[in-house]
Amino acid sequence: MVKSKPAKKKPAAKPVAKKKVAHAAKAHPKPVKKSAVKSHAKPANKVVAKAHAKPLHKPVVHAKPVHKPAIAHKPVAHAKPAPVLKPVAGTAPAAAKPAVAPAPVPKKPSFKVGELVVYPAHGVGKISNIEEQEIAGIKLELYIVDFEKEKLRLKVPTNRAEQKGMRQLADRSMIEAAMKVIRGRARIKRTMWSRRAQEYDAKINSGDMISVAEVIRDLYRSERQPEQSYSERQLFEQALARFARELAAVRKVDEDQCVKELEDYLARNAKRGATSDKAEDAAADEAA
Q: How far apart are CA 149 and CA 124, in angstroms?
A: 10
What string of pLDDT tens digits covers the 288 residues of the chain?
445 555 555 555 555 444 444 444 444 455 545 444 444 444 444 444 444 545 555 555 555 555 555 555 555 555 566 665 565 555 555 555 555 555 444 555 689 999 999 999 999 999 999 999 888 888 899 999 999 888 899 999 999 999 999 999 999 999 999 999 999 888 888 889 999 999 999 999 999 999 999 999 999 988 777 788 899 999 999 999 999 999 999 999 999 999 999 999 998 888 776 555 544 444 444 444
CB atoms within 10 A of CB 175: 18
Q: At 251, which amino acid appears?
A: R
Tell if the pTM clears 0.75, that is, is over it. no
Q: d(Cα 119, Cα 122) in Å, to the nearest integer?
A: 6
Q: Where do the domains of the chain lie, and which CATH numbers do they carry? A: 116-168 (2.40.10.170), 172-287 (1.20.58.1290)
